[in-house]
Chains A and B, each alone.
Chain A
Amino acid sequence: MAAEQGKVDPMKQFQIEPLFGSANWELAGFNIAFTNSALWMAITVILLWTFVAGGMKRELVPGRWQMAVESFTGFIDDMLEANVGKEGRKYVSYIFSLFMFILFANLLGLLPIGVLGLHPFTFTSHFTVTGVLAVISFSIVLVVGFWKHGIKFFTLFVPHGTPAAMVLPIALIEFFSFMIRPFSLALRLFVAMMAGHVLLKVLSSFVIDGLNAGVGTSLMVAIPSFALMIAISALEILVAGIQAYVFALLTSLYINDAEHLH
């Protein structure tokens, strides 16, 4: 019985492992091991490329695939049009890349390929990854803001109609909320992805332990847990989409700030 009591470590799924003996690869003194995380990034890129390439037939009457790709580009285009306006057009490439990259990563991490003995890895559950994406978005905001408005970009911290006496404290608060943006952007995605995966793993350990403990616990614990897992898996698919959307939406809102100040 002891051997069947497979301990489920809910954190093991986030473990990074170097692949193909690349553990000691280095670039300018930094380790650049090709890890399982990098592998899933590569898979994400390949699938995303395949998806978009399938929609490039450029037919006048689109097929299903082309329609799907066009609805995604149209979705990003509409979002930027609504949030940034006409100037938003030039960010479609970036926001589309961001949204689709995160969306595919999130969804790929949910694939039930564990039953085949493979280990899916959700690289968006690592704040090193979400952090870099957030920093890129934040940098774009800073670059665009200072490029377009120069020193006037700092008026972003003083909303219209602020009484003179309140200018300093409000500017301070606005400045902090501005500087927190990259962190909230990165943490939101990382936490949402990690929490969902941990929850699923914990529930799966309930299922396994409950089944191993006998009929009573099977009925009382394992089966309800399994039902909950199914429901939460559905919820996680929703969350995967929502988090990608939120990341892209907030980035476009921040870009709007940079484009138009207040």
Chain B
Amino acid sequence: MPQIAQLAEFYSSQIFWLLVFFGITFFLIGRGMVPKVMGTVELRDKQIADDLAAAQGARDAADEQEEAWRVRENENRAAAQAKIAEAKAEAAAKTEAKLARAQKRLDAKLEKAEAEIEAARESAMTEIEDVAAEATQEIVARLAGGKVDKRTARSAVKKALTNA
């Protein structure tokens, strides 16, 4: 076993060169280079974390804006609805007023027509009375030979007409 057989001869060389080369490994690579490699990793992790945070922030901002937009939209819709209701009410009021005016006109016309009819009826009635009175005078004169004056005949006719 050379490890033991050559121990006395080479132990100092083995230890010396191991210390030299492991020392180089530790100080040059372990202390010099490894921290830089790990620094790069850390930097990248930080960058990723920052990017993620920024993305999250942007998303939150977008959500906020959407919410604001929604609120605004709802307000607008409500305002529009109110305007429509107002317009409807106004239109209804106008229509009502127009209808009322038309009704009034119609009523007036109706009244006037009724009055005219009444007047016509009245004049027709007096005419009938006149004719009836004359006829009565005539009938009385012819049948009884008497003479009935106009007033008496008229009152008689009136009586008969109202009784009829």
Query: CB within 8 Å of B: which residues of A?
Result: 11-12, 14-16, 18, 25, 27, 30-35, 37-38, 41-42, 44-45, 48-49, 52-53, 55-56, 58-60, 62, 66, 69-70, 73-74, 77, 92-94, 96-97, 100-101, 123, 125-129, 132-133, 136, 190, 194
Contacts and interface: CB of A to CB of B under 8 A. Distances in A.
A42 B21 contact: yes
Given A35-B10, A37-B14, A125-B3, A52 B37 contact: yes
Contacts of A125: 3
- Among B22, B29, B37, chain A packs the most CB atoms within 10 A around the CB of B37
Interface stretch (B39-47, B76-84, B105-113): B39-47
B28 interface: yes
Nearest to A190: B3
B98 interface: no
A42 B25 CA distance: 10
B33 A45 contact: no
A70 B17 contact: no
A141 B17 CA distance: 23
A11 B2 CA distance: 7
Contact of B35 (A38, A60, A93, A133): A93
B26 interface: yes
Q: Chain A: interface secondary structure?
A: helix
B149 interface: no
Q: Chain B: interface secondary structure?
A: helix
Contacts of B26: 93-94, 97
B24 to A, nearest CB: 5
Contacts of B28: 49
Contact of B1 (A11, A34, A60): A11
A70 B14 contact: no
A58 B3 contact: no
A97 B3 contact: no
Contacts of B14: 16, 35, 37-38, 123, 126, 128-129, 132
A30 B10 contact: no
Contact of B9 (A31, A62, A101, A133): A31
Contact of A45 (B13, B24, B39): B24
Nearest to A22: B13
B1 A41 contact: no
A77 B34 CA distance: 11
A2 to B, nearest CB: 26
B7 interface: yes
